[in-house]
């Protein structure tokens, strides 16, 4: 037999042997593939007709990529069956918990009231649901309104906001108040120049009264900028909510009929609301909390000293630095840096001497002023803390200065004040330059303020720190005194320097010595120039001690608590009572 003819026979024999061996192996039962659990997201909004629904779908599709998400348009009682289908689809794809995102302006809207009742009934039956706050309660909604106000070609001194979907006079009044508050945060106008009216939901018991009030408000809007703020009917561009009343808008008013927000802005809100719901579900991993270190900056060496002091925390948190006096573009740069990581939320730590230092500015730029629910403060102009954000062009506008938009939930904490760790740092710095404590007088110094009342607050703070220092070992020194330099006010600085020089000279009597210990975050200040010719020991700042990083880590913990508090507010909104 030739080799060519014997080869197939040999291959057949080998295959037969392999098959026999495989059949002899013990049988292995097939293992089921475990279902992958992923959080579900249900976006709920009102049925607006073809074009309005399509515009919402554009935003939803951008948001839903890579997520287990469903969209529910609420029309009437028929939508309850669709709700169950949407929830079932989310569960089939592995969702154990469903985050409900109300894409509505107000919780008082009739259709949201309807679907929320259905959802709460299912929650009572065991469905795991978490609720975010409505779009209209978000600072992003305020920013969307501000963006529209910047597009106004004529800038009036009055604002009329128009809502939709009230089911009763009481709900209409609540929605009107919410719209006025939104207008106060989105514009530079005082509350007395802002009004709102709400069109009723179809079939509402008080529809006639609500329509009458709505029509009167529109006809009286002389010289006003009139802005619909509602996810209202929009079958096409001709069958749009604005067309219902446009002919009644006075000729000297301006109607802004642009959409509430574009798809990108709405998708950003969905991402942020989903992130808040995720935190509400207890998934707050400290390692994924982004941290912005906000503090005074100077040259490279100054900034590097702070970065090195906080380096141990970088292994525990995503860190970004914003060296400035709360300059919005610098803070925004840090926020964008953290957005490029896997951070799930952001805490801005204000490492300044006092809690009140820049707090109002930072809360505003992060939108926390809006989401606190407080009425807008009186406007003093277009800038925050005397600094224009520079995100929009020049020219007159009733739009407020922009806030920093982000899909990540944010909170801010900080201000060293009389923190016990600061007192320990000051005492450690005094000891580092001490020779003979019993003969030495510690003099705590701070920058101070020009205003006498504000400067007294600094002196009170230093007095508190001095008291703490005495309790923890500072009583071994001859004395602990304190003063401010009032550095930026020449006349007051001259008197302050004379006062401190007198303290140093007094401390030098009987063989004594003064120890200048700066109550500063970083550096030593200008004591060498102010006290030229005198003998004194000179300490360092807070950053130059290990206590600074400990204080900073404690503040991050407070920031986590602040984020949890925001989440708690969102959870409560899902269980609010129905409005009748």
| Residue-wise pLDDT tens digits, 80-120 | 999 999 999 999 999 999 999 999 999 999 999 999 999 99
pLDDT exceeds cutoff 70 at 574: no
pLDDT exceeds cutoff 70 at 540: yes
Q: Which residues pair with 563 in a beta bridge?
A: none
| Under 8 Å between Cβ of 214 and 165 | no
Q: Which two tokens stand for residue 565?
A: 């508090």
Question: What's the mean pLDDT when you consider all of the chain?
Answer: 89
What pLDDT, on a 0 to 100 scale, did the predictor assign at position 479?
Answer: 97
Separation of alpha carbons 461 and 454, rounded Å: 11
pLDDT exceeds cutoff 80 at 379: no
pLDDT band at 401 (very low <50, low <70, confident <90, very high): very high
Instruction: Look at 99-103, 214-218, 273-277, 432-436 and tell me which has the smallest mean pLDDT.
Output: 273-277
Separation of alpha carbons 191 and 214, rounded Å: 19
| Under 8 Å between Cβ of 103 and 73 | no
pLDDT band at 32 (very low <50, low <70, confident <90, very high): very low
Separation of alpha carbons 277 and 330, rounded Å: 28
| Residue-wise pLDDT tens digits, 494-539 | 999 999 999 999 999 999 999 999 999 999 999 999 999 999 999 9
Distance of CA 336 to the CA centre of its chain: 13
What pLDDT, on a 0 to 100 scale, did the predictor assign at position 9?
Answer: 39
pLDDT band at 279 (very low <50, low <70, confident <90, very high): confident
Q: In what order do the strands lie in the sheet with 513-518?
A: 479-484, 440-446, 513-518, 536-538
| Under 8 Å between Cβ of 362 and 121 | no
Instruction: Look at 90-99, 214-223, 382-391, 469-478 and tell me which has the smallest mean pLDDT.
Output: 382-391
The residue among 388 and 247 whose pLDDT is bigger is 247
What pLDDT, on a 0 to 100 scale, did the predictor assign at position 285?
Answer: 83
What pLDDT, on a 0 to 100 scale, did the predictor assign at position 389?
Answer: 42
Separation of alpha carbons 483 and 467, rounded Å: 14
| Under 8 Å between Cβ of 569 and 107 | no
pTM value is 0.87
Instruction: Look at 19-28, 304-313, 332-341, 432-441 and tell me which has the smallest mean pLDDT.
Output: 19-28
Q: What's the rounded mean pLDDT across residues 192-198?
A: 97
What pLDDT, on a 0 to 100 scale, did the predictor assign at position 283?
Answer: 65
Q: CA dist 497 to 492, 500, 532, Å?
A: 9, 5, 11
**Domains, the chain:** 40-136 (3.40.50.1400), 137-260 (3.40.50), 285-381+404-417+546-566 (3.40.50.1400), 434-538 (3.40.50)
Q: Which two tokens stand for residue 113?
A: 């009231």
CA nearest neighbour of 159 among 393, 363, 376: 376
Separation of alpha carbons 418 and 460, rounded Å: 10
Separation of alpha carbons 507 and 439, rounded Å: 8
How many CB atoms are closer than 10 A to CB 41? 27
CA nearest neighbour of 444 among 431, 430, 434: 430
What does R_g of the chain's alpha carbons equal in angstroms?
Answer: 32
Separation of alpha carbons 82 and 88, rounded Å: 10
What pLDDT, on a 0 to 100 scale, did the predictor assign at position 424?
Answer: 98
pLDDT exceeds cutoff 50 at 158: yes
What pLDDT, on a 0 to 100 scale, did the predictor assign at position 143?
Answer: 98
pLDDT band at 6 (very low <50, low <70, confident <90, very high): very low
Separation of alpha carbons 75 and 81, rounded Å: 11
What pLDDT, on a 0 to 100 scale, did the predictor assign at position 395?
Answer: 54
The residue among 571 and 500 whose pLDDT is bigger is 500
Separation of alpha carbons 415 and 383, rounded Å: 23
Q: Which two tokens stand for residue 25?
A: 């192996």
Q: What's the rounded mean pLDDT across residues 38-49?
A: 94
The residue among 259 and 15 whose pLDDT is bigger is 259
Q: What's the rounded mean pLDDT across residues 165-190?
A: 96
What pLDDT, on a 0 to 100 scale, did the predictor assign at position 300?
Answer: 97
Separation of alpha carbons 336 and 406, rounded Å: 8
Q: What's the rounded mean pLDDT across residues 526-555?
A: 97
What pLDDT, on a 0 to 100 scale, did the predictor assign at position 376?
Answer: 83
CA nearest neighbour of 313 among 562, 551, 560: 551
Separation of alpha carbons 508 and 416, rounded Å: 31
What pLDDT, on a 0 to 100 scale, did the predictor assign at position 544?
Answer: 96
Residues 251-268: b if buried by 16+ CB within 10 A, e if exposed: eebbbbeebbbebebbbb
């Amino acid at each position: 037999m030739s080799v060519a003819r014997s080869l197939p026979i040999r291959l057949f024999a080998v295959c037969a042997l392999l098959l026999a061996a495989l059949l002899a192996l013990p049988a292995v039962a097939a293992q089921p593939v475990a279902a992958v659990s992923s959080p579900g997201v249900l976006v709920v909004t009102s049925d607006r007709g073809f074009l309005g629904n399509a515009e919402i779908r554009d935003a939803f599709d951008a948001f839903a990529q890579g997520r287990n998400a469903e969209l529910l348009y609420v029309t009437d009682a028929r939508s309850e069956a669709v709700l169950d289908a949407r929830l079932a689809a989310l569960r089939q794809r592995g969702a154990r918990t469903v985050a409900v995102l109300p894409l509505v302006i107000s919780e008082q809207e009739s259709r949201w009231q309807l679907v929320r009742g259905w959802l709460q009934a299912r929650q009572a039956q065991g469905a795991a649901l978490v609720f975010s706050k409505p779009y209209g309660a978000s600072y992003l909604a305020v920013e969307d309104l501000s963006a529209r106000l910047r597009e106004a070609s004529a800038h009036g001194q009055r604002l009329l906001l128009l809502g939709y979907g009230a089911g009763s006079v009481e709900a209409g009044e609540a929605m009107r108040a919410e719209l006025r508050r939104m207008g106060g945060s989105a514009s530079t106008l005082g509350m007395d120049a802002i009004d709102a009216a709400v069109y009723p939901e179809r079939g509402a018991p008080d529809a006639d009264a609500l329509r009458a009030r709505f029509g009167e408000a529109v006809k009286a809007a002389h010289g006003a900028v009139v802005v619909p703020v509602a996810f209202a009917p929009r079958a096409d561009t001709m069958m749009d909510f604005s067309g219902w009343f446009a002919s009644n808008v006075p000729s000297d008013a301006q109607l802004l009929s642009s959409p509430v927000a574009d798809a990108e802005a709405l998708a950003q809100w969905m991402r942020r609301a989903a992130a808040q719901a995720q935190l509400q579900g207890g998934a707050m991993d400290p390692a994924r909390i982004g941290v912005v270190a906000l503090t005074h900056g100077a040259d490279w060496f100054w900034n590097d000293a702070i970065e090195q002091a906080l380096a141990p925390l970088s292994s525990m948190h995503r860190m970004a630095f914003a060296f400035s006096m709360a300059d919005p573009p610098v803070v925004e740069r840090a926020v964008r840096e953290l957005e490029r990581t896997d951070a799930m939320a952001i805490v801005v730590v204000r490492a300044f001497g006092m809690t009140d230092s820049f707090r109002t500015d930072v809360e505003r730029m992060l939108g926390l002023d809006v989401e606190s629910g407080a009425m807008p403060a009186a406007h003093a102009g277009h800038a925050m803390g005397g600094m224009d954000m520079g995100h929009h062009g020049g020219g007159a506008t009733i739009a407020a200065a922009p806030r920093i938009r982000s899909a990540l939930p944010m909170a801010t904490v900080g201000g060293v004040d009389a923190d016990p760790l600061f007192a320990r740092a000051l005492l450690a710095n005094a000891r580092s330059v001490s020779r003979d404590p019993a003969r030495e007088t510690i003099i705590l110094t701070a920058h101070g303020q020009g205003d006498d009342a504000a400067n007294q607050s600094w002196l009170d703070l230093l007095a508190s720190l001095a008291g703490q220092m005495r309790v923890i070992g500072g009583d071994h020194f001859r004395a602990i005194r304190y003063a401010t330099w009032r550095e930026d006010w020449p006349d007051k600085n001259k008197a302050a320097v004379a006062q401190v020089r007198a303290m140093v000279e007094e401390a030098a009597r009987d063989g004594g010595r003064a120890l200048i210990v700066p109550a500063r975050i970083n550096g030593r200040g200008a004591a060498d120039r102010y006290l030229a010719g005198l003998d004194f020991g000179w300490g360092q700042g807070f950053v130059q001690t290990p206590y600074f990083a400990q204080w900073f880590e404690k503040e991050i913990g407070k920031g986590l608590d602040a984020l949890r508090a925001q989440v708690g507010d969102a959870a409560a909104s899902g269980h609010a009572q129905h409005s009748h």
